Structure 1
């Protein structure tokens, strides 16, 4: 949810109110502590009494931009206040040359001769290290070019179907076997599949599946024909892709500066949310809704509504410009958004280029 800058009450804030609000947010971003009227009056570029500052703070509180965490305390920005700050005041920085070199080196080194999974894992680790938050990558279900298919019999009516992609990703699935199948027939079916669909995706071979099955009638016996059909169906039914995967690195960073039991409980909710399968779909939907980096603060993102965390996320794309995943940084609501947004944006664009 974004609060429009055309909101009359927010647009009517005078320079003094904006200065005080900005100082409260800056203090929160810097150390997470509330800022009181006395300290505020000393920090302002003009001389204002503590009483005058308190009156301005009262107006800001009435607008829902700041709040008092407890009696006689200073003020902290609300979730609405943080959104207003991000939309109205935040000036995005640019990545320095050193940061660009670090991102380039780590992503390109992990992508050279390695699997896509390795490259994405390194990207998640790199984002965590640079942001001091948790680096997150969601790899969407994606079509893969096959390198090798193998069936290993586990019991008379069950086999382990192993798919290895050209990029080195491995997926295992349990397959129901036709009654009476022999190990030699498993090998025969594997050989046939490898000869006909190696280097192609299931969707690319989909139009040939019927023809392939027809060809087996002369090359394979009835049981092996059935196994080939089942083997193709294992991946054809899910469009020949690996399921969505979630890669999170740097979870320990989120424990920094957490002292209250309530904060630990919120973090527990966050980890539970992240590991829910429906959460992966939500993250991909969030990334796919926008063309660039998106910022979600607290409960603006239903996925993290219980934990109150913030998420900076951007999509990455394949050679056809389709969104196939998302990457970003998760952290407390006082993330350094101005620095992290260009970092996430640059990494997403680099990953997209590497996948073309």
Structure 2
């Protein structure tokens, strides 16, 4: 069993109720839960023996386990993930907590430095969760000197960006299936002329303009060839890219100009196809932000300490995600309370940043 739908398909209502209560009890106390405790805490009347039978099934599924030699059971990482994704009931932040969060930002509401707001956000979340507040500051549009892509795994790569001021930033992002190391190297070489002396945003805008110019030239040439009866355009329903079909007699003509045009059209098709892939790659690099709940070893940075990380995005005055705020704490965090608190804190941070726009 590997995903929530699999678990839901084999757990009946009684099993789900027992699992939910076991997790809730564990999150409250941090202690493994025994069958007798569960039988007393359930809304339905079940003997400890019946509860033990269900717990055995949950253990076989890998949702719970016995820590050390304890007689009780605690949710596994997979169990917590299933609970958070499929069973967690998250409400809104109550009025008292909402007011407390907002009041905590009053001292920095008029500060010019965004860093002051983010520092306060970290302190607020730390106090709310009794864990550590986490802030990823907005990404500055650094003027770049060099960019290079490094393949990490099959569908994962890292962009290494060196700024003109010597600052180095790494961003990890997913790559399209089948992308090779040599293609990443080609992309790095091609981007060097666009990136040097520009921000990522500026480089992307330049590349898109260059692609538009080539597309315009391609449209003009292909129309000329089609009108002359030398070629036809075919478009597959499953493919948004048109294909130029050169008619037999066009391959036999001796008109030098026509041959040159055909060669240029073929070259433009190839270039546009490869440039589009590189533009997509650069876009993925620029937008390599994500919001997730990491539990245990899902987060390589905190896996050894058995921690969870809850992140929520904040935006700039253009409603673009520019960073995240969050909480790092034990896996038995009170998710139902902290998830909405983190989201609301991110909302407050966004509002304060919007005012500076």
TM (norm. structure 1) is 0.56
Which SS does the other structure have where 1:61 is aligned?
helix
User: Which residue, 299, 308, 311 being the options, matches 1:310?
Assistant: 308
Count of residues paired in the alignment: 220
Please show how residues 187-266 of structure 1 align to structure 2 within 5 Å.
Answer: 239=199
CA contact (8 A) 2:32 2:70 kept: no
Aligned to 1:342: 340
Aligned to 2:258: none
Aligned to 2:169: none
- CA drift of 1:287 comes to 8.1
Structure 1 pair 110/334, CA: closer, same or farther in 2 (3 Å)? Answer: same
User: Which residue, 80, 86, 90 being the options, matches 1:88?
Assistant: 86
Structure 1 pair 75/286, CA: closer, same or farther in 2 (3 Å)? Answer: farther
Highest Rg: 1 or 2? 2
Structure 1 pair 110/27, CA: closer, same or farther in 2 (3 Å)? Answer: same
- CA drift of 1:238 comes to 8.4
Q: Say whether residues 1:288 and 2:289 are aligned partners.
A: yes
Structure 1 pair 287/132, CA: closer, same or farther in 2 (3 Å)? Answer: farther
Q: After superposition, give the CA deviation of every residue in 1:82-127 in whole Å (9 maximum; x if it has no partner).
A: 1111112111021111211122222243131342111111111011
Aligned to 1:194: none
Q: Which runs of 5+ in 2 are unaligned?
A: 143-164, 167-195, 201-284
Which SS does the other structure have where 2:105 is aligned?
helix
CA contact (8 A) 2:77 2:296 kept: yes
Give runs of ≥4 in structure 1 deviating > 4 Å: 236-240, 284-287
Aligned to 1:22: 20
- CA drift of 1:353 comes to 2.0
CA contact (8 A) 1:287 1:313 kept: no
Query: Hey, what's the Cα distance between the residues in 2 that align with 1:341 and 1:330?
Result: 12
- CA drift of 1:61 comes to 0.2
CA contact (8 A) 1:287 1:314 kept: no
Q: After superposition, give the CA deviation of every residue in 1:317-340 in whole Å (9 maximum; x if it has no partner).
A: 212233222110110001111111
CA contact (8 A) 1:111 1:354 kept: yes
Aligned to 1:115: 113
Aligned to 1:34: 32
CA contact (8 A) 2:310 2:327 kept: yes
- CA drift of 1:306 comes to 2.2
Aligned to 2:207: none
Structure 1 pair 115/104, CA: closer, same or farther in 2 (3 Å)? Answer: same
Query: Hey, what's the Cα distance between the residues in 2 that align with 1:72 and 1:337?
Result: 25
Q: Say whether residues 1:73 and 2:74 are aligned partners.
A: no
TM (norm. structure 2) is 0.56
Q: Say whether residues 1:5 and 2:33 are aligned partners.
A: no
Please show how residues 98-113 of structure 1 align to structure 2 within 5 Å.
Answer: 98-113=96-111
- CA drift of 1:139 comes to 0.8
Which SS does the other structure have where 1:18 is aligned?
helix
Aligned to 2:122: 124
Aligned to 1:355: 353
User: Which residue, 298, 301, 324 being the options, matches 1:300?
Assistant: 298
Which SS does the other structure have where 2:45 is aligned?
coil
